[in-house]
Amino acid sequence: MSVINKIRERSGLAVGVIAVSLLLFIVGGDLLSGNNNLFGGNKQKVGEIAGQSIDYPEFNAKVDEIRAQFEQQSGRAPAEQDLVQIREQAWNQMLFEIAYQKQFDKLGLKVSPEELIDMVQGNNISPAVRQAFTNPQTGVFDKTQIVNYLKGLKNLPPQQQAAWASFENNLSNDRLREKYESLMRMSIFATTAEAQKEYQAQNSRADVKMLFVPYYTVNDTTVKVTDSQLSDYLNKHKDEYPGVNSRSLQYVTFSVAPSKEDSAALYSEIKTLARGLGAAPNDSVFAQQNSDVRVPLYLTAGEMPEQLRDAIPTFSPGGIYGPFREGNTYFIYKYGGTKRDTSFTARASHILIRPTAQTDSAKADARRRAEGILKQIQAGASFEALAQTNSADGSAQNGGDLGYFKNNGQMVKPFETAIFAASSAGLIPRLIETDFGYHIIKVTEPKTNQLYRVVGIGKTINPSQATRDEALRKADQFAAEARTKEAFASKAKEDKSIVVATAERVPEGASNINALADARAVVRWAFNNKTTVGDVSEPFEVGDQYVIAVLTSQTSEDDVNVDDYRAELTAKVRNDLKAQQIIAKLGNADGSLEATAQKYGAGALVEEVQDVNLATGFLRSAGVDPIALGRIFGQKPGKRSKPFAGDAGVLVVETTNLTSAPAVADYAMYKTQIQQNATARIGFAINEAIKEASKVKDMRAKFY
């Protein structure tokens, strides 16, 4: 009945919405500021779906509703990343309620009252209802529980009745979506001609001899690309370069890292805490009250940090050990004796020799090789060196070291049994066979079930206010002296410690800029109508650093120009020009491919590739080139193409052998493949098609 209680807990939904709304009103000064102008006509518009305008109050009410549900279910307030997901969920719900509903109405799709009853307490109960009314102790669903709950629903508080109504509404929506997607799924069909084409693509084979001249063999500096050429290329390929709203930035950061003084102050504090920990009558409570991080009370030697583990031989009851530094945290520990665990811990290294195939001969070869390595180690060879050069496991780079592990199924059974059967450290004198292959094992620390009681306190070094003030002073000074793009670059060059980072095409809804997490304030500044190219921002506090940005360029979805895609367009046009040069130099390539390559000179390669597949063909140096594959399979055996431009260079292909797939009577398997591939994409495809048909305009980034 625990999930029934969860449904009842939703009765607090209305109260939660009111509370969160009041909280937003109190602390939401930013939302009410002039930057957003929420109370000014069309500026309240968050988006548009199927011609229906979505205003900020309406959308925010949906956000508040989902936020309240999140708080009830998680028992905590949402973090910023949670809020991002909550807003996305709210938007998707509105998309469903408006855009999807229009499609349902056109088709006459509905969930009748009788159908809903059947889903809740009939013969076809929804999985969501089953989950809600399944006894968590027994795992058994009892329909009488839901029936009794519904009988008493009218006697429950209005909030709980509303929570149940919301639950049923979600059931109906889910069923509607299932019906719609099922209809779309049933419409997927593959013709015999399509299946035959797929069969031929997968099973036809060709051998090819080819001349390949990569584009990179022609130096970029020798090929001049003009803006006119870029513009012509863009006009001919508009569909490949859609317009997007984006901003490109350069930025510098001023770290608010703890100073030497901050570190010294914390070191002094933790020494004081060490004396307190030593004298505390209840040391575990003292540690909990004073530690920044949670430290387990009992640890195996393997679970200890290395510095503490090294101190084990000096342990004495009541002794204080440390401070030990790990990153920006200092730790101190108080030793309080040992006890026995119910499981054992050990440490071992291994060398894994895998068979090349699951055949008797391959396994025999692997065993002989493993036995040879074992004999070398027994004769005095280095286990670690042989592990690095022979082991087929990722631990090879560590000399085969697997670290510490328990006898709780972490390792495969034969491996685990061998290690925990060993009574002392050393090489196990026989091979251990598992499903992975043959193992040569060295026990580096034998099994133990000894636990150490170590009460720990961890204190993290945080920058002091003085450190923060100094970082802000430096950032303010930089921003004050770099008010233009040119001054920004000049000031950055003056200070060798400053690194200028670049972020290209940042979308309007982005939360991160490169590795800068939670940089939403910087993105909003870049998209502000008052920010123009060349403007430099004031310092933004992003995490543990101050960020100053300069807007270097911007793109618009309504106006695509060369600068929006200059790098990509330049690469395309330059390769086209290189192709013209290479083809002109190759001429007709009438002689042998070897003679043509020799005549062309440096950069020309002649290669032979056997058994090329049309569906996924790989042409060695030329990679996967659809244009080349089409030429290879489109010409008769013995024929050779003229030089042509491919994806990565200019090619001349000669089809030396072509084996068509033999005719088959039944292409059902390939029909099924095509239909399964299309079905797997149906949910995403439906969503994208509905959004496109509904002319969705998402303007949330202006508000959040």
The values of phi and psi at residue 654, to 5°, are -120, 115
**Residue 164: is its pLDDT beyond 80?**
yes
Confidence of residue 42 (pLDDT cuts 50, 70, 90): low
**Residue 653: is its pLDDT beyond 70?**
yes
Each residue's pLDDT tens digit, 219-241: 999 999 999 999 999 999 998 99
Angle formed at CA 333 by CA 327 and CA 339, multiple of 5 degrees: 125
Q: Which of 322, 334, 374 is nearest to 352 (CA)?
A: 374
**Alpha helix locations (H) across 391-530?**
413-421, 465-481, 485-494, 520-527
Each residue's pLDDT tens digit, 564-583: 899 899 999 999 999 999 99
**Residue 34: is its pLDDT beyond 80?**
no
Identify the helix (H) or strand (E) that includes residue 667. Answer: none
**Residue 252: is its pLDDT beyond 80?**
yes
**Residue 109: is its pLDDT beyond 90?**
yes
Query: Could you tell me if 491 and 478 are in contact, meaning their C-beta atoms sit under 8 angstroms apart?
Result: yes
Which residue type sits at 250?
Answer: Q
How much of the chain is helix, strand and coil, in % rounded to 5?
50, 20, 30
**Residue 588: is its pLDDT beyond 60?**
yes
In the prediction, which pLDDT does 18 show? 28
In the prediction, which pLDDT does 26 show? 32
SS3 state at 602: coil
pTM: 0.60
Please give the Cα distance from 441 to 377 (Å, whole number). 11
The values of phi and psi at residue 49, to 5°, are -130, 120
In the prediction, which pLDDT does 357 show? 76
Of 74-83, 179-188, 348-357, 598-607, the least confident? 74-83
What's the whole-number average pLDDT of the chain?
88
DSSP 516: B
Query: Could you tell me if 462 and 355 are in contact, meaning their C-beta atoms sit under 8 angstroms apart?
Result: no
The values of phi and psi at residue 92, to 5°, are -65, -35
Mean pLDDT along residues 329-337: 94
**Residue 32: is its pLDDT beyond 60?**
no
Each residue's pLDDT tens digit, 353-411: 999 877 788 888 899 999 999 999 999 999 999 999 999 988 999 999 999 999 888 88
Confidence of residue 5 (pLDDT cuts 50, 70, 90): very low
**Residue 218: is its pLDDT beyond 60?**
yes
Listed in sequence order, the residues at least 6 apart from 357 whose beta carbon sits closer than 8 Å to its beta carbon are: none
User: Which pair of tokens denotes residue 468?
Assistant: 């923060």
Please give the Cα distance from 669 to 658 (Å, whole number). 24
In the prediction, which pLDDT does 360 show? 81
Please give the Cα distance from 489 to 505 (Å, whole number). 20
Listed in sequence order, the residues at least 6 apart from 296 whose beta carbon sits closer than 8 Å to its beta carbon are: 303, 456
Q: Which of 612, 607, 603, 604 is nearest to 631 (CA)?
A: 612
Confidence of residue 346 (pLDDT cuts 50, 70, 90): very high
Mean pLDDT along residues 541-569: 91
Which residue is associated with the tokens 């099973």?
Answer: 203
Beta strands across the sheet bearing 52-55: 52-55, 45-49, 697-698
Please give the Cα distance from 74 to 405 (Å, whole number). 33
**Residue 2: is its pLDDT beyond 50?**
no
Query: Could you tell me if 657 and 635 are in contact, meaning their C-beta atoms sit under 8 angstroms apart?
Result: no
Please give the Cα distance from 307 to 321 (Å, whole number). 10
Mean pLDDT along residues 490-504: 92
Q: Tell me the chain's radius of gyration from C-alpha atoms.
A: 34
Listed in sequence order, the residues at least 6 apart from 254 whose beta carbon sits closer than 8 Å to its beta carbon are: 471, 472, 474, 475, 478, 539, 545, 546, 548
Each residue's pLDDT tens digit, 47-70: 999 999 999 999 999 999 888 878
**Residue 7: is its pLDDT beyond 70?**
no
User: Which pair of tokens denotes residue 418?
Assistant: 């061998």
**SS3 annotation, 137-153:** CCCCECHHHHHHHHHCH
Confidence of residue 23 (pLDDT cuts 50, 70, 90): very low
Confidence of residue 46 (pLDDT cuts 50, 70, 90): very high
Strand partners, 640: 654
